[in-house]
């Protein structure tokens, strides 16, 4: 009996360009927030906290839309090849990012140090989600 | 039932976000030594915004043997009032502030808070009310001056009417019986107006007419617009009425929204709105005598030397020098009006001050929304506040009015400006 290994591609190997753009935009936005937080931390210049707030808001928009794409992908794919880890990472990014937005809404230094810690975590999670999401799939080995 | 359970589940999941302790009752935080609980920070602010409804047949509630009358309606946001020597009443109308939204939060909070205020357009004018026959009804209503810029504080001395716009202090010449200003006002002094987060400029005048005192609010809740924005803010200026020269008279007063001179002693008093977002019972708004050269804490500390960690860099020296105010009115009541009483107001209210409380937004259980009387003895506050005018906010959660300025008419009445229903109320003892 001969087993023939056939690579079947029931879905494109890479993310849709729009999905990819949304996902790729997430890291620079949350990273920008983290850098702004570091600037506020070291300078006490409150304008940096404002920058961080808007960057986080942008990060939430991008990661939120990417999350919707990922959710759609979960249902579209057959056999669960789209690893749910990508989806779960994005969920974590968005929830912690949202909490971070609320923390940053506190006035002046009340956002610190929690805001900085959350920015670090969210940025790392966003990098992980992007790495998993954009890595080339091996395809389905039947 | 299912739905109810779902809501409970949702509410409980919100606990994570808001630490939703449901009881922040009015702790009766009154007097010189209020209890100051620990600071609370939460992810979602506790908020209850006024739900405006018309008065209809209702009226504010006043003590027995007092009457209340709406003496002017359909005004354009009345804030402070002044009784002229001939008994005419001037009403300053308008809305100020041009603070831009700095954060996503400001956009959202601005929208939410606007629901609890009037939607009428800013009057930017002074309206004159006249009671021709002395029956307590003001049948004549004329525009005394217009094209002002969010006028708020009013003061009068010997033929000179001073008006504190949100950006400058101006003077009108006034003759007894005038119903309209004879011309545009003369400038006395520029007032700090960049951003104008707290835009109201409170005003009073020394008994000899030499000095004007101007209350200038901070440009933020707690320095979130940066320290540079706070130059010349959160203080009371003393302005020379003749030359317009000014100096800071007292500092560290976050938002001194009304000033008044105590009869006999000539002492300056103020009501001040303190900071938000550190809990339902912090920080008490207060009534205080204002000491020349005194520092009252903002932003570095509150109620004397209680450090506010939200301010960076901190300043331990300033904290050490901070004066604790005289009398707590309770947290978030938003005191906006102050007037010393006279014996003509009736025995129970003869000695003390009336305080107009606009009402809270930054706590779950609303407080304020009334006019209280703080009794004085030997020239100092003595005893808890007594409700004088209530019924602005009802148990049904609806709000019909929000008191701002209060003025004692020496003929025997309290004039209350209501900037939600755009009404001026007159409360008088039954003769």
Give the DSSP H/E element, type plus range, for residue B7. helix B2-18
**Predicted ipTM of the assembly:** 0.85
Is A108 within 8 Å of B223 when comparing Cβ atoms?
Answer: yes
In chain A, which residues have their Cβ closer than 8 Å to the Cβ of B44? 102
3-state helix, strand, coil in chain B (%, to 5): 10, 35, 55
The DSSP call for residue A23 is: H
Query: Which of A47, A107, A112 is most worth mutating to test chain B (most B CB atoms within 10 A of its CB)?
Result: A107
Q: Taking chain B (431 residues) in consecutive chunks of 10 residues, what is each chunk's mean pLDDT?
A: 40 41 71 94 87 94 97 97 98 92 89 88 96 95 97 97 98 97 97 96 98 98 95 98 98 98 97 96 97 98 97 97 98 97 96 97 92 97 97 89 98 97 97 79
A123–B contact, CB cutoff 8 A: no
Tell me the C-alpha distance between B402 and B356, whole Å. Answer: 9
Using the beta-carbon criterion (under 8 Å), do B223 and A47 form an inter-chain contact?
Answer: no
Q: Is A53 near chain B, with CB under 8 Å?
A: yes
Is residue B371 within a helix (H) or strand (E), and if so which, with residue range?
Answer: strand B370-377
C-alpha to C-alpha distance for B427 and B370, rounded to whole angstroms: 13
CB neighbour burial string for A64-77, b if at least 16 within 10 angstroms, e if fewer:
bbbbebbeebeeee
Cβ–Cβ contact B17 with A under 8 A: yes
Full-model pTM: 0.90
B398-399 and B51-52: which strand pairing? parallel
Q: In which region does residue B39 sit, left (phi positive, over 0), alpha (psi from -120 to 50) or beta (all else)? A: beta
Contact A79, A140 (CB under 8 A): yes
Question: Which residues of chain A have a pLDDT value below 70?
Answer: 1-13, 77-82, 136-142
Q: B11 CB near a chain A CB, below 8 Å? A: no
Q: Which residues from chain A sit within 8 angstroms of residue B222, using beta carbons? A: 107-108, 110
Strand partners, B417: B424
**Do B78 and B70 touch, CB atoms closer than 8 A?**
no
Residue B193: alpha-carbon gap to chain centroid: 18
Contact B93, B127 (CB under 8 A): yes
* Sole residue written with tokens 């301010």: B311
**Alpha-carbon gap, residue B157 to B210, rounded angstroms:** 9
> Tens digit of pLDDT for each residue in A72-112?
888 776 444 457 899 999 999 999 999 999 999 999 999 99
Give the C-alpha separation, B51 to B58, whole Å.
Answer: 16
Name the residue of chain B whose CA is nearest to A46's CA.
B226
d(CA B417, CA B424): 5
Picking from B103, B277, B309, the nearest residue to A50 by CB comes out as B103
Three-state SS at A119: helix
In sequence order, what DSSP letters do the residues of A40-97 get, joined into one string? HHHH--THHHHHHHHHHHHHHHHHHHHHHHHHHHHHHSSTT-S-HHHHHHHHHHHHHH
């Amino acid at each position: 009996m001969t087993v023939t290994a056939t690579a079947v591609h029931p879905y494109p190997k890479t993310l849709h360009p729009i999905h990819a753009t949304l996902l790729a935009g997430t890291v620079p936005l949350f990273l920008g927030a983290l850098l702004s937080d570091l600037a506020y931390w070291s300078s006490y210049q409150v304008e940096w906290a404002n920058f961080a707030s808007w960057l986080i808001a942008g990060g939430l928009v991008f990661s939120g839309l990417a999350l919707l794409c990922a959710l759609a992908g979960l249902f579209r794919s057959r056999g669960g090849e789209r690893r749910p880890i990508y989806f779960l990472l994005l969920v974590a990014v968005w929830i912690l990012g949202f909490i971070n937005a609320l923390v940053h809404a506190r006035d002046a230094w009340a956002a610190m140090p929690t805001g900085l810690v959350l920015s670090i975590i969210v940025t790392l999670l966003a990098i992980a989600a992007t790495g998993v999401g954009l890595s080339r799939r091996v395809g389905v080995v039947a | 039932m299912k739905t109810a359970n779902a809501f409970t589940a949702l509410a409980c999941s919100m606990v994570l976000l808001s630490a939703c302790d449901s009881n922040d009752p009015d702790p009766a935080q009154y007097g010189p030594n209020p209890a100051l609980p620990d600071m609370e920070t939460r992810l979602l602010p506790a908020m209850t915004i006024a739900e405006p409804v018309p008065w209809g047949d209702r009226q504010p509630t006043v003590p027995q043997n007092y009457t209340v009358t709406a003496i002017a309606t359909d005004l354009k946001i009345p804030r402070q009032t002044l009784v002229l020597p001939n008994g005419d009443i001037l009403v300053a109308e308008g809305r100020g502030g041009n603070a831009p939204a700095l954060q996503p939060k400001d956009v959202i909070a601005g929208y939410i808070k606007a629901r609890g205020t009037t939607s009428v357009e800013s009057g930017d004018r002074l309206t004159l009310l006249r009671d021709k026959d002395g029956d307590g009804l003001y049948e004549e209503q004329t525009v005394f001056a217009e094209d002002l810029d969010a006028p708020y504080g009013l003061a009068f001395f010997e033929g000179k009417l001073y008006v504190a716009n949100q950006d400058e202090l101006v003077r009108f010449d006034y003759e007894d019986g005038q119903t309209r200003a004879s011309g545009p006002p003369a400038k006395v002094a520029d007032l700090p107006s960049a951003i104008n987060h707290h835009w109201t400029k409170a005003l009073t005048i020394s008994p000899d007419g030499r000095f004007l005192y101007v209350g200038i609010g901070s440009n933020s809740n707690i320095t979130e617009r940066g320290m540079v924005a706070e130059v010349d803010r959160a203080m009371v200026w003393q302005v020379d009425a003749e030359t317009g020269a000014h100096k800071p008279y007292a500092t560290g007063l976050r938002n001194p929204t009304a000033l008044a001179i105590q009869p006999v002693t000539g002492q300056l008093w103020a009501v001040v709105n303190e900071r938000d977002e550190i809990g339902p019972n912090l920080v008490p708004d207060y009534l205080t005598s204002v000491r020349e050269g005194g520092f009252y804490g903002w932003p570095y500390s509150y109620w004397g030397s209680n450090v506010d960690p939200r301010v960076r860099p901190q300043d331990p020296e300033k904290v050490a020098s901070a004066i604790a105010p005289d009398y707590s009115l309770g947290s978030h009541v938003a005191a906006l009006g102050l007037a010393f009483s006279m014996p003509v107001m009736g025995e129970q209210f003869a000695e003390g001050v009336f305080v107009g409380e606009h009402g809270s937004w930054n706590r779950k259980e609303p407080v304020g929304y009334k006019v209280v009387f703080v009794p004085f003895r030997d020239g100092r506050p003595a005893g808890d506040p007594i409700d004088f005018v209530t019924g602005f906010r009802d148990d049904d959660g609806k709000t019909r009015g929000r008191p701002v300025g209060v003025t004692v008419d020496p003929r025997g009445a309290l004039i209350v400006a209501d900037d939600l229903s755009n009404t001026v109320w007159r409360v008088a003892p039954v003769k």
